Homo-oligomer: A and B are copies of this chain.
């Protein structure tokens, strides 16, 4: 892992994203900044073909609609056929029947490599009662056992489960890591979760081990957030937003190691 950023940049994975139109520009720029190459395509007539030439697929349901849901399913199945890693960002799972049913269907029909969301979203997949209030609310329920939710979702789906919050939790079978970098300020801009899912696709497209890929992505985002916030906290959230992409583009394995806040628990 000491050379994860360098390897990603050497491989420059092509990352197919079917993602929401709110943060899609940031997702593309974040993938480029960390060293990948993004391609966005959401029509059913090409979704599978684009997946087939890519190194990873990222499905983000942030602004899903009847048309794009079918493309997500088709692309996901194609990725499974070709052994291409697939990342799911279940934005707002639990907030509407459409989102919940779509996540149910995605998890049933596609085998995901990594699933990343906040506690509320991942709890929905775990079958727990989740009241989602906004996609960025985090729902940091003090009494929830975050680790057990992550482990349950990993066990149910076979995916690496990533729950982001004050401390990020990454579970994969019996393997467990936490990431303590990041700052609460990241919830004051839109897109940090989506960008993280995007770069998770880039790491997953460059590595064989999805657990290491997920941990590296979370820590890269966390360290970039902290560094960006230090530079811009006097300026405001517009500058903070841009500085996160700056920091992703300047991320190195040295920074990741020193400031990523990674702890491998088991």
Tally of A interface residues using CB under 8 Å: 60
Find out whether the CB atom of A241 lies under 8 angstroms from the CB atom of B245.
Answer: yes
Find out whether the CB atom of B37 lies under 8 angstroms from the CB atom of A134.
Answer: yes
Interface residues of A in 21-42 (CB under 8 A from B): 21-26, 28-29, 32-33, 37-42
Q: Bound complex: CA of A39 vs CA of B137, how far in Å?
A: 11
A166 within 8 A of partner (CB): no
Chain B nearest Cβ from A19, distance in angstroms: 9
Q: Convert A231-248 into 0s and 1s, putting 1 for each residue whose CB lies closer than 8 angstroms to a CB of B.
A: 000011111011111111
Query: Cβ of A83: which chain B residues have Cβ within 8 Å of it?
Result: none
Which of the 9-residue segments A43-51, A117-125, A147-155, A168-176 touches chain B? A43-51
Find out whether the CB atom of A189 lies under 8 angstroms from the CB atom of B63.
Answer: no
Which of the 9-residue segments A64-72, A211-219, A252-260 touches chain B? A64-72
Query: Cβ of A98: which chain B residues have Cβ within 8 Å of it?
Result: 43, 45-46, 49
A89 within 8 A of partner (CB): no
A250 within 8 A of partner (CB): yes
Q: Bound complex: CA of A211 vs CA of B243, how far in Å?
A: 37
Query: Cβ of A43: which chain B residues have Cβ within 8 Å of it?
Result: 64-66, 98
Which residue of the partner chain B has the closest CB to A134?
A: B37
A20 within 8 A of partner (CB): yes
Query: Cβ of A96: which chain B residues have Cβ within 8 Å of it?
Result: 41, 45-46, 49-50
Q: Bound complex: CA of A149 vs CA of B99, how far in Å?
A: 42
Chain B nearest Cβ from A207, distance in angstroms: 19
